[in-house]
Amino acid sequence: MQYRFFATFLIKWLVSSLGLWIAASLLTTSISYNSQSGVIIIAGLILAIINTILRPLLIFLSIPALLITLGLFMIIINGFSVYLVSRLYHSFYISNFWAAVFAGMVIGLVNYLVTTVLSSKES
């Protein structure tokens, strides 16, 4: 049981770091990490922790907005999570909230692709 949780968390950490790196590569003017891979890895760890602990609470509290927008409010929740990482870890800098929203969309896309590949290998 603990092994499965740890393995799942490691995958979340890897996907978060990969997504942050891709988003930072696409938004070079809005996202800064001083070209240090360690900053991306630590920011990915913080994002994985936020997504494990805080995200379920955010989703629960925003159920009305999610229902009204047919789930599109998840983009804002993802962006808020990324923006929160930039505020907690100052070596990873995001210039504005909308850049964080775009980074959240990139991370969501990377997560979707990794999940699809992993689930197709299990079949």
The 10s digit of each residue's pLDDT in 36-90 is 889 999 999 999 999 999 999 999 999 999 999 999 999 999 999 999 999 999 9
pLDDT at residue number 2: 77
Please report whether residue 63 resides in a domain.
yes
Is 103 part of any domain?
Answer: yes
DSSP annotation of 33 reads -
C-alpha 8, offset from chain centre: 15
- Position 123, amino acid: S
State the pLDDT at residue 123: 62
Closest CA to 103 of 57, 58, 49, 43: 43
Q: Is 99 within a domain?
A: yes
Residue 28 lies in a domain: yes
Residue 72 in 3-state DSSP?
A: coil
In a domain, 75, yes or no: yes
Q: Residue 120: pLDDT band by 50, 70, 90 thresholds?
A: confident
Range of the domain at 87: 2-110
CA-based end-to-end distance of the chain: 22
Answer yes or no: are the C-beta atoms of 92 and 85 closer than 8 Å.
yes
Q: Look-up: residue for tokens 């809005």?
A: 30
Domain count, the chain: 1
- Nearest CA-CA partner of 80 in 113, 54, 114: 54
CB-based contact 54:81 (threshold 8 Å): yes
What pLDDT shows up at residue 65?
A: 96
On whether residue 117 sits in a domain, the answer given is no
> pLDDT tens for residues 1-38?
678 888 889 989 999 999 999 999 998 899 999 888 89
